[in-house]
Amino acid sequence: MFTGLVEARGEIVRIQRGGRDASVTVRAPLGGGPLVLGESIAVDGACLTVASIVEPGPGAVAFQADVSSETLARTTLGDRASGDRVNLERALAVGSRLGGHMVSGHVDAVGVVVSTTKAGAGVRITIEVPLELGPLIATKGSICVSGVSLTVNRASPPSAARVDFDVLVVPHTQAVTSLAELGPGCRVNIEVDVVARYLARLAGFQPSLTPSSPTDSSDEAWTARLTDAGYM
């Protein structure tokens, strides 16, 4: 598990393709002690396992990880090339402060930046996502964008023809992550709040529901589903 608080910016040293899978080597200027074989590191929000530790240059430490075809298809890692910068976070240690939100590192989909606009000292970013994520994104809820824990400032209604949402990136986050480099058309990894994911699944698959009721998005229908699921 992760928190969505980026610890460092890493760099892709190389990507080697092998059939449908790939191997990626990432220079990782991470603190918290030496890297350990088998540990999990979130790379732009995608959880990867350290398969080997290498020294790409004097004083530099990097790790190599295997990337499955599923991860390549569902994340932006398939777009990456040597020299690209990526957001890095080591797994949450028991007893550490949870400054962001609970992030699994299991990317749900790739989103596309629609616009970026100045908002005081920050930057407001609008991101479009696949329609199926609409019910899982809520205004003032949490979302993970390329490994960064953010608050949703505005979300499209679940029934909208196009699903997008806004986040506000404060100056500190702009300075320590890749989000300041985003512009219209950029692709980003999206992980919805894990609580929203399971709530939606439980509420939508209750045996008491009639075949037509899952499409009913009224407050009364959702209250009934959450009650049946034991949340109310």
Q: Which helix (H) or strand (E) holds 175?
A: helix 171-176
Which residue type occupies 57? G
Task: Tokens for 68, please give them.
Answer: 């499955």
- Same CATH topology for 8-90 and 109-192: the answer is yes
Phi and psi angles of residue 65, each rounded to the nearest 5 degrees, phi first: -135, 150
pTM: 0.84
- For the chain, the domains span 8-90, 109-192, 200-228
223 has a pLDDT exceeding 90: no
Percent of the chain with pLDDT over 90: 66
Contact status, residue 44 vs residue 93, Cβ threshold 8 Å: no
**How far is it, in rounded angstroms, from Cα 221 to Cα 209?**
10
| Beta strands 109-119; 163-169: pairing state | unpaired
- 8-90: CATH topology is Elongation Factor Tu (Ef-tu); domain 3 (2.40.30)
- Write out pLDDT tens, residues 148-202: 999 999 999 867 889 999 999 999 999 999 999 999 999 999 999 988 888 877 7
Fold of 109-192: Elongation Factor Tu (Ef-tu); domain 3 (2.40.30)
Angle CA 86–10–45, to nearest 5: 40
Question: What percentage of the chain exceeds 70 in pLDDT?
Answer: 88
